[in-house]
């Protein structure tokens, strides 16, 4: 058992029989006679449903341990992503609803930690950022104003805003959580 003020991103808790993964947690101090509050954003690990409950800072919650295994992404269909344990060749299905918008960054052969609860795949841990090639955008331009952005479609079909200097075919680094451009990736020259 833990108290709500100890909740951190990545933890798993059981509330009213359902298992949730903590996506965000923020403690707000109270003033005067009002107590503080812990604002959270939780995702049901089996349905993918988001929930944003508030707790009293001293409220007790049941924290859970998740078993983490490295798995390789194989493919996805309309409802599920299929991953395989590279040592045992055991395959698991993870509902795309549980993956949320991060599912767009899955590529065949990608290895990711998968968290299990009571033998069922509960969540997939994505890296903070991924590198993706730009498939379509306006021709590059250099402007005096560095804050100008344009639309770009990535090879996985996701549309993001990128700086004007980014050209089609270039690789960019994208923040997986916010789905926002971070930087252009310089490709190494051959023979260098």
Are the C-beta atoms of 161 and 150 separated by less than 8 Å? yes
pLDDT in tens, 142-176: 766 667 899 999 998 899 999 988 999 999 999 98
DSSP 6: G
Domains of the chain: 2-64 (2.30.30.30), 67-124 (2.40.50.140), 129-185 (2.40.50.140)
Q: Which of 5-9, 97-101, 125-129 has the lowest mean pLDDT?
A: 97-101
Report the pLDDT value the prediction gives residue 146, as an integer from 0 to 100: 67
Residue 192 has pLDDT above 70, yes or no: no
126 vs 65: CA distance, rounded Å: 18
Read off the pLDDT of each residue in 112-117 and give the average, rounded to a whole number: 90
Q: Beta strands 60-64 and 129-137: pairing type?
A: unpaired
pLDDT value for 188: 67
What local confidence, expressed as pLDDT, does residue 120 receive?
84
Please state, rounded to an integer, the average pLDDT across all residues of the chain: 88
**Percentage, residues of the chain above pLDDT 70:** 94
Q: Is the pLDDT of residue 34 over 80?
A: no
pLDDT, tens digit, 9 for 90 and up, residues 38-97: 999 998 888 888 899 999 988 999 999 889 999 999 999 988 999 999 999 999 998 888
DSSP string, 53-107: -EE-TT-EEEEE--EEEEEEEEEE-SSEEEEE-TTT--EEEEEHHHHGGGGGG--
Q: Count other C-beta atoms under 10 Å from residue 55's C-beta.
A: 20
* Whole-angstrom distance, CA of residue 117 vs CA of residue 65: 8
**Contact of 98 with 45, CB cutoff 8 Å:** yes
Q: What is the mean pLDDT of residues 108-132?
A: 89
Locus of tokens 């947690």: 25
């Amino acid at each position: 058992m833990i108290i709500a003020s100890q909740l951190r991103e990545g933890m798993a808790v059981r509330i009213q029989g359902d298992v949730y993964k903590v996506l965000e947690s923020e403690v707000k101090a109270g003033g005067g006679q009002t107590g503080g509050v812990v604002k959270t954003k939780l995702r049901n690990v089996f349905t993918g449903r988001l929930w944003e409950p508030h707790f009293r800072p001293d409220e007790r919650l049941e924290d859970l341990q998740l078993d983490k295994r490295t798995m390789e992404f194989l493919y996805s269909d309309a409802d599920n992503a299929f991953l395989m344990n590279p040592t045992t060749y055991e395959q698991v299905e993870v509902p795309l609803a549980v993956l949320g918008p991060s599912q767009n960054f899955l590529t065949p052969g990608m290895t990711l930690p998968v968290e299990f609860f009571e033998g069922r795949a509960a969540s997939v841990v994505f890296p903070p950022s991924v590198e993706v090639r730009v498939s379509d955008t306006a021709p590059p331009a250099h402007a005096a104003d560095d804050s100008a952005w344009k639309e770009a479609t990535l090879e996985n079909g996701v549309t993001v805003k990128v700086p004007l200097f980014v050209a089609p075919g270039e690789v960019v680094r994208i923040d997986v959580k916010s789905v926002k451009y971070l930087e252009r990736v310089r490709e190494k020259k051959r023979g260098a």
